[in-house]
Amino acid sequence: MSTASTGVDTASHCPYCALQCAMTLTRVSTPVDVTLSVAGRDFPTNRGGLCKKGWTAAEVLSSSDRLTEPLLRTEDGTFRPASWDEALDFVAAKVHEIREESGPDAVGVFGGGGLTNEKAYQLGKFARLALGTSRIDYNGRFCMSSAAAAGMRAFGLDRGLPFPLEALDDADVILLLGTNVAETMPPFIGHLEGVRSRGGLIVVDPRRTPTARLTDDGAGLHVQPAPGTDLVLLLGLAHVVLAEGLADLAYLEARTVGLEKVRRDVAAWWPERVQSVTGVPVATIRDVARRLAAADGAYVLTGRGVEQHADGTDTATSAINLALLLGLVGSDTSGYGTLTGQGNGQGGREHGQKADQLPGYRKITDPAAREHVARVWGVEPEIIPGPGVPAVELLGELGVPGRIRALLVHGSNVVISAPDAGAVRAGLRALDLLVVSDFFLSETAQEAHVVLPVPQWAEEEGTMTSLEGRVLRRRRAIDPPPGVRDELWILSELARRLDAPGRFDLDAEAVFDELCRATAGGPADYSGISYPLLDSGAAVHWPYPTGSTGTPRLFRERFAHDDGRARLVSVRPASRPEPAGVDGTLTLITGRLLEHYQSGTQTRRVAELAEVHPHMEAQLHPVAAERLGLTDGDLAELTSPSGTVQALVRLSPDIRHDTVFLPFHYPDLESANLVTRSDTDPISGMPEFKRTVVQMRLVQAN
């Protein structure tokens, strides 16, 4: 690794969410150490703005509990420091032994949507070539997989926003479905100012979130359906569009297929029936459909609230169907998109971390894709394993006889972020080998046999791909602590010890160049991109084939299916949602807070962020609280068939009477995912995070 320069500002991006706000990092030297200061940098997405997570991101670099040497589990269950050679020799020998005894699929890999493109790519290559395993997947499965599957099905391509973020500035109507951008990515709301001034912001959320409050004072409309009824609401909107002659029939004729089936489906969802399921008044359903249809520029945007369901792909599909019926997709002034959450949630799902995928968003089952990637890797296509299983299924195989005996985890804290987290922890404890690469002893690392310390965002080189498919440079502004080693180095060293075929470069730029070659000709084609191009400051949106200038706006003339047409897909609700309110039950929805990012491993270490909500708080309506005998500040217990958690009761009129909200950033008894369910969407593998029926009772009065 090169030595970080001094006295020079470094242009980079935030380590957290997919908005990837631009930052200037400045080295601050004192007699005892060197730290970084952070300032927002003008950029089309954040326009100089940062949220409080971004402002405080540099503090995490100098946390006192950074890992700086490998750790090995001892006989008595504690950790002891080890040299890198000892740790990697141990891992390689154990992996070799397990593969010999139980076959390559006995070793699994779990990646993350926060890893750089280079690391995500190399992790997929390492799994397929060095381990020979099909068992690789990543935490993006909990985040974007249903919207990604819906986009693939409808358009033949999945890029979160198929248009630049700035396009929203000119919209007349924006329908935000299940996304709380005011807390998850605050600078985003700068792009909503125009639509608010025109009274056209429509927010669909069971909670009156800070984003929903942006519709106050004539800025728009807040629609508050019962949790888990989004699919029915969207069918109702489509019904009104077709019944009232608001569909763009010329567009549908020219650019889509599948209208007649969808017409038959939505015929059954007249507004009165939709009201009976969702609780949304008939007049509101008609009003939303008419506003969308009347707008010159209209956008439909989905987030995790409607996607994190066991029918998440169909729900996202129904949002796409609505956008297609109105002729929005591929227009220069309108569109459909999904708001990616994790920092590299977009790039993380393009380069081979997914069980069913090779770099460039290629299908692992496609013989031509296998041949192309094998050529770049310098191997025969036959040695690349076939598809594995999605994340929840993979975690369900941990420690199961005949299944996974060893797991390598990179950039993920599954003990907090996976559904039914108690079962996940039990699976990790049943493994013969758990290796976790992290910069802290995260809750998952605490279960490991081997912990490998890695650099953080400002200590590494690489690229990230933002929510609008924009490829960005992450730059090293400061050296990592001595003793820390980059994941590219770790994978290279393990590959060497395992006699892996192929080449595993150490240098991020060399890996990126290889990644670009591997994606050439694929759906997510990066072949025309290079570090010098990115360093020139050019706006780089994929697909960016060699010789092109990239694609800020997709689908203007054709969709990515062979016939160039989008698919309207027939969607029907599988069943009515489980009713909450019976026997005092509530529907639990989980989500994020302004102060925290994902499992909180980083943000819980920043005092300014942690002190705002030191403990998990359950948002509950006063009417529900009275029914349950709870008051503000009480300690309560929430129980589902998966497990039990504890939270402080926080009374709020901003939530429905039948619903309780928990943030999922906390550990131990406050880990919301101890009660969430492990059933998944059959198409995408997305777990059900937003429709868990729970009992709630008093543990200790305030």
Q: Which is nearer to ligand SF4, 19 or 171 (CB)?
A: 19
Distances (CA, A) of 93 to 87, 100, 429, 498, 504: 10, 11, 20, 8, 19
Q: Identify which range of 48-56, 60-68, 215-223, 513-521 contacts ligand SF4 by CB under 6 A.
A: 48-56
Smallest gap from Cβ 17 to ligand SF4, in A, equals: 3
Return the number of the residue (592 or 656) whose C-beta is nearest ligand SF4: 592
Q: How far is the CB of 16 from ligand SF4 (least distance, A)?
A: 3
Work out which of 4, 10, 14, 119 binds ligand SF4, going by CB under 6 A: 14
Of 20 and 684, CB closest to ligand SF4: 20
Closest by Cα among 207, 143, 177, 53 to 594 = 53
Binding mask 50-89 toward ligand SF4 (x if CB under 6 A, else -) reads xx-xx-----------------------------------
Residue written as token pair 């591929």: 330
Q: How far is the CB of 165 from ligand SF4 (least distance, A)?
A: 12
Least distance to ligand SF4, CB of residue 45, Å:
8
Compute the distance between CA of residue 585 and CA of residue 693 in angstroms, rounded to an integer. Answer: 6
The pair of structure tokens assigned to 83 is 């040299």
> What is the 8-class DSSP label of residue 583?
G
Strand, coil or helix: what is 411? coil
Site string for ligand SF4, 160-199 (x = CB under 6 A): -------------------------xxx------------
Q: Which of these ranges, 46-54, 376-384, 570-578, 630-638, lies near ligand SF4 under the rule CB under 6 A? A: 46-54
* 19 or 234: CB nearest ligand SF4: 19
CB closer to ligand SF4 out of 188 and 489: 188
Provide, rounded to whole angstroms, the least separation between the CB of residue 18 and ligand SF4.
Answer: 7
Check residue 17 for interaction with ligand SF4 (CB under 6 A).
yes
CB of 608 to ligand SF4, least distance (A): 14
Return the residue of 10, 16, 352, 390 that touches ligand SF4, per CB under 6 A. 16
Structural element, H or E, at residue 39: strand 34-40
Least Cβ distance, residue 14 to ligand SF4 (angstroms)? 3
Answer whether 431's CB lies under 8 Å from 404's CB: yes
Q: How far apart are CA 357 and CA 89, in angstroms?
A: 30
Site pattern 432..471 for ligand SF4 (x: CB under 6 A):
----------------------------------------
Instruction: Choose the stretch contacting ligand SF4; rule: CB under 6 A; options: 44-52, 388-396, 537-545, 560-568.
Output: 44-52
The Cα 125–Cα 377 span in angstroms is: 8
**Of 457 and 512, which CB lies nearer to ligand SF4 in the complex structure?**
457
State which residue, 99 or 191, has the beta carbon closest to ligand SF4.
Answer: 191
Q: How large is the angle between the packed helices 117-125 and 487-497, nearest 10 degrees?
A: 10
Written as one letter, the residue type at 509 is E
Neighbours of 421 (CB within 10 A): 26
CB of 592 to ligand SF4, least distance (A): 10
Q: In the bound complex, which residue of the shown chain has the CB atom lying closest to ligand SF4? A: 54
Q: Pick from 40, 626, 110: which is nearest to 412 by CA?
A: 110
Nearest CB to ligand SF4, comparing residues 343 and 396: 343
The number of angstroms, rounded, from the C-alpha of 377 to the middle of its chain's C-alpha atoms is 28
21 binds ligand SF4 (CB under 6 A): yes
Supply the minimum distance, in Å, between the C-beta of residue 130 and ligand SF4.
33
Residue 171 phi/psi, 5-degree rounding, is -70, 150
Provide the strand spans (E) within 390-440: 406-410, 433-438
Q: Which stretch binds ligand SF4 (CB under 6 A): 45-53, 238-246, 475-483, 693-701?
A: 45-53
Instruction: Kindly give, in sequence order, each residue whose CB lies less than 8 Å from that of residue 628, ignoring residues fewer than 6 positions away.
Output: 584, 696, 697, 698
Report in angstroms how near the CB of residue 309 gets to ligand SF4 at its nearest. Answer: 24
Closest approach of ligand SF4 to the CB of residue 599, in Å: 14
The length of the chain is 702
| Pick 348 or 543: Cβ nearer ligand SF4 | 348
- State in angstroms the smallest separation of the CB of 306 from ligand SF4: 21
Is 301 a binding residue for ligand SF4 by CB under 6 A? The answer is no
Compare residues 160 and 206 and give the one whose CB is closer to ligand SF4. 160
Peptide bond connecting 543 to the previous residue in cis, omega within 30 degrees of 0: yes
Binding footprint of ligand SF4, residue count (CB under 6 A): 14
Angle at 65 between CA 62 and CA 66, to 5 degrees: 60
CA 278 to CA 177: how far, in whole Å? 14
Going by C-alpha positions, the residue among 238, 178, 245 that lies closest to residue 212 is 178
DSSP state of 556: S
- Distance of alpha carbon 335 from alpha carbon 533, whole angstroms: 28
Rank residues 55 and 251 by Cβ distance to ligand SF4 and give the closer one.
Answer: 55
Residue 16 or 377: which CB sits closer to ligand SF4? 16
Nearer to ligand SF4, 344 or 684 (CB): 344
In single-letter form, the type of residue at position 187 comes to: P
Distance, CA of 558 to CA of 197 (rounded, Å)? 33
Calculate the dihedral angle through the C-alpha atoms of 481, 484, 486, 489, rounding to the nearest 10 degrees: 140
C-beta closer to ligand SF4: residue 54 or 330: 54
Residue among 269 and 439 whose Cβ is closer to ligand SF4:
439
Instruction: Compute the least distance from the CB of residue 55 to ligand SF4, in Å.
Output: 7
Distance (Å, whole) CA 105 – CA 98 = 10
DSSP string, 520-540: TTSSS--TT--HHHHHTT---
Give the pairing of strands 659-663 and 586-591. parallel
Site for ligand SF4, rule CB under 6 A: 14, 16-17, 19-21, 46, 50-51, 53-54, 185-187
